[in-house]
């Protein structure tokens, strides 16, 4: 392991990985020192909390309710679980809106509104999914008084990006920087002090499943897009994550 490299994967669906021990060894070998594991529903939230217990100081849990996963009969139990367990977590995530999803928009907004209230009440970060709903998500969290948030895999407009940054929020970079012009434009425009690195693993990029170690790809692509050195990108984004999530230093 290169002692000069210290990377943090800020968004990983660890419950979906097939070889967690192997993935963690490979991640540590390239310098990953922490992973923010995110949940999307009741089952994945429980798994993320269990993994945080199995890998203390390495896996830091976020629990959430992804808009794709909202089912009317599961809302009360899932929200109750979030409320009961959030003090064990660094954030609520993955949460937000997806206006391409089959779940009705008004139902998505109702659930998201409840989570926003919990985030304000417990002073927690929101890790945001906002596909085709960037402006609505931004309006809801600002109107709701959310102090800290990460716009995961941001591909929205330049104008909204400036509003996000001016409001003190962050965006995250992914390996999609290899091929996605909207994502490249956002990362190029945002100040490095407001960018976090992530993989969103095990999501596929150009047909290949990702893993926590692929946060190095994100780091290299961020450096390329922004015209910065890899060392500078790694140092600043890792510091960003440590400060935002209050991780051990």
Q: Establish if 148 belongs to a structural domain.
A: yes
The continuous run of DSSP H or E covering 240 comes out as: helix 230-245
Q: Is residue 106 part of a domain?
A: yes
Query: Taking 70 as the threshold, does the pLDDT of residue 90 lie above it?
Result: yes
83 part of a folded domain: yes
Q: Which domain holds residue 180?
A: 7-245
Residue 1 lies in a domain: no
Number of other CB atoms surrounding residue 173 within 10 Å:
28
Percentage above 90 pLDDT, the chain: 98
Q: What is the pLDDT of residue 3?
A: 54
Rounded Cα gap, residues 38 and 52, in angstroms: 11
2 domain residue, yes or no: no
**Mean pLDDT calculated for residue range 12-26:** 98
180 occurs within a structural domain: yes
Please list, residue by residue across 224-242, b when 16 or more beta carbons sit within 10 angstroms of its beta carbon and e when fewer do: ebbeeeeeebbebbbebbb
Average pLDDT score over the chain: 97
Number of domains in the chain: 1
Read off the CATH number of the domain in which 232 is found.
Answer: 3.20.20.140
pTM attached to this predicted model:
0.96
Mean pLDDT of 74-91: 98
On whether the CB atoms of residues 137 and 130 are closer than 8 A, the answer is yes
């Amino acid at each position: 392991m290169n002692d000069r490299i210290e990377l943090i994967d800020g968004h990983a669906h660890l419950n979906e990985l097939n070889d967690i021990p192997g993935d963690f060894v490979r991640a540590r070998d390239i310098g990953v020192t922490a992973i923010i594991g995110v949940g999307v529903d009741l089952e994945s939230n429980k798994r993320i909390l269990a993994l945080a217990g199995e890998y203390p100081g390495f896996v830091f849990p976020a629990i959430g309710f992804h808009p794709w996963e909202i089912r009317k009969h599961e809302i009360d139990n899932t929200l109750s679980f979030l409320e009961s367990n959030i003090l064990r977590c660094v954030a609520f995530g993955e949460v937000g809106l997806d206006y391409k999803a089959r779940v009705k928009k008004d139902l998505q907004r109702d659930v998201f509104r409840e989570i926003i209230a919990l985030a304000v009440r417990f002073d927690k970060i929101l890790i945001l999914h906002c596909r085709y709903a960037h402006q609505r998500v931004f309006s809801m969290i600002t109107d709701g008084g959310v102090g800290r948030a990460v716009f995961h895999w941001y591909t929205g407009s330049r104008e909204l990006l400036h509003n996000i940054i001016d409001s003190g929020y962050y965006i995250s970079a992914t390996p999609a920087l290899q091929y996605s012009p909207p994502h490249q434009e956002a990362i190029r425009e945002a100040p490095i002090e407001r960018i976090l690195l992530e993989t969103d693993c095990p999501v596929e990029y150009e047909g290949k499943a990702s893993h926590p170690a692929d946060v190095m790809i994100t780091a290299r692509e961020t450096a390329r897009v922004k015209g910065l050195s890899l060392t500078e990108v790694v140092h600043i984004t890792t510091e960003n994550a440590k400060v935002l999530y209050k991780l051990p230093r």
